[in-house]
């Protein structure tokens, strides 16, 4: 009996080392990456994460990788977690910065059932909790869509978000004067053609032919569009393409150029 107990103890120890000591098993995950462990979620079982860096994202989501790469992608960890009686898939995407992370978050969310205060940018739906914090976009997917799943997802999300200390995107820089509550609900950040196609397809043709831009779009009673180009030349090309003039009042549209590369447009809906 004593031997059996010893055996179980050793076996359990090996299991615990194998399953929970993620950092020792997976040195390719940077130390500052917000991985959660049993210390953060007692009783959880973590399966070995899969890691995809740079263009190896094609190996995870194939053509879907293009969107992330267009925004600026660094790495993702994909981990299955058994917790509170349910099964969850967490994806933690580290993008190149807070802007890129918010961009992916903004074009991936849809009709949030709730926006729990896990972070400034959180969207909960029946089967998914999405969080943007600092340079990270986090997706937690459950299988059954129950209340228990929602609660467990929130606990996992809080544990991950709690480890992120990076600064958030400053949307007020893009949209000065627009209430932050409106920005949180109705704002998308699109980068490149795929960003527009996924986030604001009604503007696809407007941006057709434009390149090297990042656009923040707020759809309310009016459509507010702030576009940052990579150069003054790209901005001027865009203005010429649409025959827009920054110094002449134009009906139905207000235009303001800030510095060399930023254009703010207000359109009637």
Partner 1 sequence: MKRNLIGRRKFFKTLGAGSAVIAANPFIAAAPAKIQEQAKPATNISETSKYPRKPYSMPGKYPGKVVVVKNERSVVDDVPVEEVAYLMLSRSMLELTGQKRLDKAWRLFVSPGEKIGLKVNPVAGKLLSTSHAVVKSVVKQLTECGIDRKDIIIWDRRDMELKDTGFVSENYPGITIKGTEMQDEKGSFTDENGILYGERNIDREWYYWADVDGEYDAETMPYMVNGGKFSYFGRIVTKEIDKIINIPILKNAGGSITNAMKNLAFGSISNTGRLHAQLWNETCAEVCAFPPIRDKVVLNISDGLRGCFNGGPGANPQFICNYNSLLVATDPVALDRIGYDIIAAKRIAEGLQKTPVPESLTFLKMAADLGLGVYEKDKIDLKEIEMS
Residues that bind partner 1 (CB under 8 A): 52-56, 58-59, 61-67, 89, 108-111, 125-128, 139, 141, 145, 194, 197-198, 201-206, 208-209, 223, 240-245, 250-253, 267-269
Instruction: Indicate the residue among 90 and 108 with the shorter CB distance to partner 1.
Output: 108
Q: Between 38 and 185, whose beta carbon lies closer to partner 1?
A: 185
R_g (Cα) of the chain, nearest Å: 22
Q: Identify which of residues 10 and 126 has a Cβ nearer to partner 1 in the complex.
A: 126
Nearer Cβ to partner 1 (111/165) = 111
Give min distance, CB of 58 to partner 1, in A: 5
Decide: 44 and 81 in contact? Cβ < 8 Å: yes
DSSP string, 48-64: PPEEEEGGGGHHHHGGG
Query: How far is residue 174's CA from residue 126's CA, in Å, rounded to a whole number?
Result: 31
Q: Which is nearer to partner 1, 12 or 211 (CB)?
A: 211
Q: Cα(17)–Cα(136) distance, rounded to whole angstroms?
A: 27
**Residue 11 CB, nearest approach to partner 1 (Å):** 21
Q: What is the residue-wise DSSP string for 65-126?
A: HHHHHHH-EEEEEEEEEEETTEEEEEEEEEESSHHHHHHHHHHH--S-SB--TTSSEEEEET
Choose between 39 and 62: whose C-beta lies nearer to partner 1: 62
SS (H, E, C) 148-167: HHHHHHHHHHHHHHCCCCCC
Whole-angstrom Cα distance, residue 83 to residue 87?
6
Minimum distance of partner 1 from residue 48's CB (angstroms)? 9
DSSP label of 250: B
Q: How far is the CB of 44 from partner 1 (least distance, A)?
A: 20
Residue 116 β-bridge partners: none
Cβ of residue 17: shortest distance to partner 1, in angstroms? 18
Q: Least Å distance between CB 239 and partner 1? A: 9
Task: Rank residues 163 and 223 by Cβ distance to partner 1 and give the closer one.
Answer: 223
Q: Rounded to 5 degrees, what angle do the CA atoms 51, 56, 62 make?
A: 105
**Shortest distance, position 6 Cβ to partner 1, whole Å:** 29
């Amino acid at each position: 009996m004593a031997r059996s107990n010893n055996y179980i103890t050793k076996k359990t120890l090996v299991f615990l080392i194998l399953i929970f000591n993620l950092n020792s098993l997976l040195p390719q995950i940077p130390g500052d990456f917000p991985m959660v462990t049993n210390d953060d979620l007692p009783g959880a079982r973590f399966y070995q994460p899969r890691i995809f860096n740079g263009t190896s994202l094609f190996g995870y989501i194939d053509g879907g990788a293009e969107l992330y790469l267009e925004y600026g992608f660094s790495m993702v960890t994909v981990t299955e977690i058994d917790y509170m009686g349910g099964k969850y898939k967490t994806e933690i995407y580290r993008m190149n910065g807070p802007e890129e992370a918010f961009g992916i978050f903004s074009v991936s969310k849809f009709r949030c059932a709730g926006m729990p205060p896990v972070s400034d940018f959180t969207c909960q739906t029946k089967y998914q909790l999405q969080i943007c914090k600092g340079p990270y976009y986090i997706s937690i997917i459950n299988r059954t869509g129950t209340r228990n799943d929602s609660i467990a997802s929130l606990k996992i999300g809080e544990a991950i978000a709690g480890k992120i200390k990076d600064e958030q995107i400053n949307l007020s820089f893009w949209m000065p004067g627009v209430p932050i509550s409106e920005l949180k609900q109705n704002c998308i950040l699109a980068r490149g053609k795929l960003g527009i196609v996924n986030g604001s397809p009604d503007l696809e043709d407007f941006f057709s032919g434009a390149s090297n831009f990042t656009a923040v779009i707020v759809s309310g009673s009016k459509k507010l569009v702030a576009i940052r180009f990579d150069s003054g030349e790209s901005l001027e090309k865009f203005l010429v393409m649409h025959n827009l003039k920054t110094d002449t009042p134009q009906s139905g549209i207000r235009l303001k150029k800030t510095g060399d590369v930023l254009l703010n447009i207000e359109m009637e809906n």
